[in-house]
Structure 1
Amino acid sequence: MKIVKHILKFLVIFVGILIICIGLMMLLDKQNTNYLNIKNNELAYNDSYLLSHVNLIPMNQDTVLVDKMVYIKDGLIQNIADKIEVEGVNILDGKNKFLSPGLIDMHVHIWDRYELGLYLSNGVTAVRNVWGMPMHLRLKEAVINDKIISPVFFTTGPKLTGPEFIGDDNLNLTGPTQAKEKVVSYKERGYDFIKTYYGLTEDIFDAVIEQAKTSDMDIIAHPSQKVAYAYHFNPQIKSIEHAEEIIQQPLNYTLDTLKLKEVINGFSASKHSSFCPTLTVYNNIYQMLIDDNILSSEQLEYMNPLIEKVDSKAQFERWYTTKLRDSSIVMSIKNQHDFHLKIIKELHEADVTIVCGTDAGIGVTLPGFSIHQELAFYKEAGLSNYEVLKTATVNASRTHSIMNNMGTIEVGQVANLILLDSNPLLDLSALQNPSTVFIKGRKLNRETLDSFEEKAKSRKNLIASAVRYLENLIIEK
């Protein structure tokens, strides 16, 4: 009996010490991202400026407005004119640089606050997180209440799947009643959108759509293979994700141009849904296949360490093993990526709205940096620079009504802006390394943005990230 008491006492002490250690690690992780706290960053505290001598790329028309002044007050664009006189406000000389709306990445997976700085350093001033967890509700609250410097943050709830698609990253729905209850719950708890995923049968999907309409929540759809692809052309579904899903579902894993035409016609006729291609994440399969050392590359030091140790490694091993078994997979993946470019070209020619999304935060797809590769792929597919830039600005902002106050440089819009050394309408690479980023009017210079990258590199928050993921499994399951 005494032995049992000693064992129980030891277990209680051990659990107590473990809880304390975890608590200290979580506190340390929070302290290590204090550089994003607005009160700790004098440069970002002010949200009112008068910019002079800037060349505007307004994105509500294909033009450049030369040598303008822009008055930003309380984080909003108040006036745009050749000459503006305002007393008591900081005047910034734009030095004839180019002012563009900040970029919007419409398909990301956020794992920690460090990633917020990586997005900002790459000119991304708004993100749509599409795998919601409790941590994202706290993050959203901090952003809304101006506690931290961050891209404007939107998030779906957990991924809704059918009963057969089992996995710790999915919320399995077993029937229509449960589906409606989850939509109501996500609305009440503060998630912005509904994310539908694999395995949703028609009766469950119908219930999700019906309740989403009642609850006034837009749906973002990773197509379900349990319904026809055309089923997703529903007014409540505001964007359909992933070019590879067109090949894997309606084209039945073929590069069939005739079947593709049917899909294009369906998109064109629906007039409801935007399309978010996420070409970069699929192309990164090819990059893993041709680079056996990609996991040890410097770029992977910017990934969240939990994702790097688990997801990045698992994806690489999957494709490395596949390559050993069948070397033809390398060209198969490359050919499918090239077909994705054809999909983008034909969708664009059919006037389907394309919105930029990278699927950053999984595999080897880097937060922030990957958006420039995604935009380059749209250019390669045949879009003009202006049309490419639209996908990450005005097209993205018009996808959801709650995002309509960004994406263009107009009076009344949120001052999410990037100041560039050269004109991206001539060279898209100008979007990389903006000299200044304005997020809700707050000014971040290049030195500050570079420091965000340095602090995110090789960060040591694996356990803190694991605890947040465990929290998700406990609460959302």
Structure 2
Amino acid sequence: MRWWHGLAATSLLLAGAAQAQTTPDAGAAGTFAFVDVDVLPMDRDVRLSSQTVVVRDGRIAAIGPRDDIDVPDDATRIDGAGRVLMPGLAEFHGHVPGGDDPVYVQDTLDLYLANGVTLVRNMSGDVSHPELRARIEHGEVNGPTMVVASPWLRSRDADEAVREVRAHHAAGFDLVKIGSIPADAYPRMAETAHAVGIPFAGHIPEGVPLDVALDAKQASIDHFDRYVEFLVPPGTETGDRDAGWFGSGWVQWADRGRIDEAVARTRAAGTWNVPTLTLVEHMASPETPEAMLQWPEMRYMPASERERWRRAKHEYAARDTFQPDAAQALVTLRRELLKALHDGGAPIVLGSDAPQFFNVPGFSIHREMAMMQAAGLTPYEVLVTGTRNAAQALGTPDAFGTVEVGRRADLVLLAGDPREDLSHAQAPLGVMARGHWWPRDALAARLAEIAERHAE
């Protein structure tokens, strides 16, 4: 489905005519040249001044000093003077709706794009997603590149888990999303996934310890699942108290002296962590849900989703295991854990779990990055988790995530250097995904259309 139709198309055409530089229609592909632009290659911490970057057929074809690179005659020139070009960001724990509401699906994809997200690892998939992934890749649908997880694995026993893993692999999903399966089904599920060659990632099922998941080579652990339980020393008397939401019920017994062991085990396993700090911090925040729903980006979400988030925050606040002191202790511990894992060489990749709990697709990535910086990572280190680390986590380090010749042209054009201030990564001046270019005017018009549809 193309979104530059009706009134939106008129707005885009008028905006395009008013621009001083020549820009293509939104989502157009072809040959482009970013001229006189500063480049953050993200393979190292450096800013290359006054570069020309040529993109052809969806790939970066040439990079070099402005005067050393010839701009092809057929290229669309994009003025980069005073601007910064860097790789697009990855949302490594995002969600895209199923195919029963194509308008909402397209809205979600466009919200990601408008915020510089050029790849979404869609966790908890739908049967429609492999086809959607292909249509995006073929340019039939506008959106970030999709990595599609299977539907949430809810097997009742090991035999069913084996059948479902094989079925998801045959259906073309990129990975199995681990959900709620019996603990005794986990080993055979993992064995089968390794045998057929499909990664498994997401949650760690209840009753499966962190070290068991690490030994099984789970591809990623999302939300720091089971880390709090690991930090509680064996033999600790917890009574009948449930571990609660991501360990919030046991956080008072967590022993920070065990963090080094958790880091060492994670690094040795090669398992990636997707922290999704926003998921917990939004729920733990003393800010009322009514106040949070006044955030500017909330205008882009359906009223039904906003109401669901409002109720959820009130319901979590009423839980015995998620009272204010425990909630804030969990936030503090998770930030310390992120810093320790990162500094200890355990791999981290950026993800916010949008759209969940006040996380609006695309916008929540920038809130997540700010929280990661507050946890002690530098802006550059945060940006690495959302660019080259994403490519490495997928086992394709040479495919994207850096600005280098031959890489897929997933790029964002910014007004300032986000290594100096992460807020410069917000509201990009233009976004390129797989060589398709969306100038800011097109993105802004699309955001306005989405907001108007959800206005009350």
* 1:458 to 1:130, Cα distance in 2 relative to 1, 3 A: farther
> C-alpha offsets along residues 36-59 of structure 1, whole Å, 9 cap, x if unaligned?
99xx98232233111211111111
Query: Which of 294, 313, 317 lines up with 1:316 in the alignment?
Result: 313
CA contact (8 A) 2:91 2:117 kept: yes
SS of equivalent to 2:349: coil
Q: Do residues 287 (structure 1) and 285 (structure 2) align?
A: yes
Q: Does 1:453 align with 2:447?
A: yes
2:438 aligned with 1:444: yes
1:97 equivalent to 2:80? Answer no
CA RMSD in angstroms, aligned pairs only: 2.7
Change (3 A) 1:291 1:106: same
Pairing partner for 1:274 from 263, 272, 275: 272
How many Å separate the matches in 2 of 1:297 and 1:425?
Answer: 25
Q: What corresponds to 2:160 in structure 1? A: 178
What pairs up with 1:13-412 in 2 under 5 angstroms? 42-82=25-65, 83-85=68-70, 86-111=72-97, 112-160=105-153, 171=154, 173-202=155-184, 204-234=185-215, 236-243=217-224, 245-248=226-229, 250-251=231-232, 253-254=250-251, 255-270=254-269, 272-287=270-285, 290-295=288-293, 299-309=297-307, 311-322=308-319, 329-401=323-395, 404-412=398-406
Following superposition, the deviation at residue 88 of structure 1 comes to 2.3
**Cα gap change, 1:298/1:44 in structure 2, threshold over 3 Å: closer, same or farther?**
closer
Q: 2:408 matched to 1:414?
A: yes
Q: Distance in 1 between matches of 2:130 and 2:304?
A: 20
Instruction: Note the residue ranges of structure 2 that are not aligned, 5 or more in a row.
Output: 14-23, 98-104, 233-242, 244-249
Note closer, same or farther for the CA distance 1:343–1:145 as it changes in structure 2 (3 Å cut).
same
Letter in structure 1 aligned against 2:260: K
Deviations along 1:116-161, whole A, 9 cap, x unmatched?
Answer: 111111111110111111232332132122101101111100111x
Distance 1:292 1:71, change over 3 A: closer
Deviation at 1:195, TM superposition (A): 1.0
Aligned equivalents of 1:321, 1:226: Cα separation in 2? 25
Structure 1 distance, partners of 2:216, 2:43, is 24
Kindly state the Cα deviation for residue 456 of structure 1 after the two structures are TM-superposed. 2.2
Change (3 A) 1:295 1:65: closer
**CA 1:402–1:207: 2 relative to 1, 3 Å:** farther
Alpha-carbon offset, residue 189 of structure 1 = 1.4
CA distance in 2, matches of 1:183, 1:34: 40
Correspondence for 1:13? none
Counterpart Cα distance in 2 of 1:383 and 1:446: 29
2:101 alignment counterpart: none
| DSSP 3-state at the match of 2:83 | strand
Secondary structure (helix, strand or coil) at the match of 1:354 reads coil
Deviation beyond 6 Å, 4+ runs, structure 1: 30-33
Residue aligned with 2:150, SS: strand
Q: Which amino acid is the alignment partner of residue 400 of structure 2?
A: M
Distance 1:148 1:67, change over 3 A: same
Query: Which residue matches 1:22?
Result: none
Q: 1:199 to 1:47 in 2, by over 3 A?
A: same
* Conserved 8 A contact 1:372-1:432: yes
Q: Return the structure number with greater helix share.
A: 1
Q: Deviations over 1:97-128 (max 9, x none)?
A: 11100000100122222011111111111101
User: Does the 8 Å CA contact 1:108/1:358 hold for their aligned counterparts?
Assistant: yes
Alpha carbons of structure 1 residues 391 and 358: separation in structure 2 relative to 1, 3 Å: same
Task: Give the structure with higher Rg (CA).
Answer: 1
Counterpart contact for 1:33–1:114, Cα < 8 Å:
no
Aligned twin of 1:163: none
Distance change (3 Å), C-alpha of 1:178 and 1:49: same
Sequence identity of aligned pairs in percent? 25
Q: How many residues align?
A: 414
Letter in 1 for 2:223: H
